[in-house]
Amino acid sequence: MFLFTVTGEKDSQRFEFVTADPKKIVIVAAATILILASAGVDGFLVPKAIQVSRRHDNFIRKTPFDAKSHLAASTKSRPVEKTDQEWQEILTPDQYYVLRKEGTETPGASELNYVKEPGTFVCAGCGAPLFVTDTKFDSGTGWPSFFAPISSSAIDLDTDFKLLLPRTECSCSQCGGHLGHVFEDGPEPTGQRYCMNGVAMKFFADQERPDLVETVKQQQTNDPFRPSPSQLLPTAIVNGIISAFFVGSFLSSQQTTPIEYLTLLPGLYYGFVSAKNIAKML
Domains of the chain: 21-50+227-282 (no CATH), 64-226 (2.170.150.20)
pLDDT tens digits for range 175-215? 999 999 998 888 988 888 999 999 999 999 999 999 999 99
pTM (2 decimals)? 0.67
- Lowest mean per-residue pLDDT among 56-60, 154-158, 194-198: 56-60
Higher pLDDT, 204 or 16: 204
pLDDT tens digits for range 29-53? 666 555 555 544 444 333 333 334 3
pLDDT at position 190 is: 86
pLDDT tens digits for range 82-111? 999 999 999 999 999 999 999 999 999 999
pLDDT at position 58 is: 33
Known catalytic residue: 126? no
pLDDT tens digits for range 222-253? 988 876 666 667 777 877 888 888 888 777 76
pLDDT at position 185 is: 86
Helix (H, G, I), strand (E, B) or coil at 216: helix
pLDDT at position 14 is: 52
CB of 117 closer than 8 Å to CB of 108: no
185 phi-psi bin (left φ>0, alpha ψ -120 to 50, beta other): alpha
Distances, alpha carbon 110 to alpha carbons 5, 55, 95, 187, in Å: 50, 18, 12, 22
The candidate with the shortest Cα–Cα distance to 50, out of 106, 9, 8, is 106
pLDDT at position 231 is: 64
pLDDT at position 189 is: 86
pLDDT at position 268 is: 83
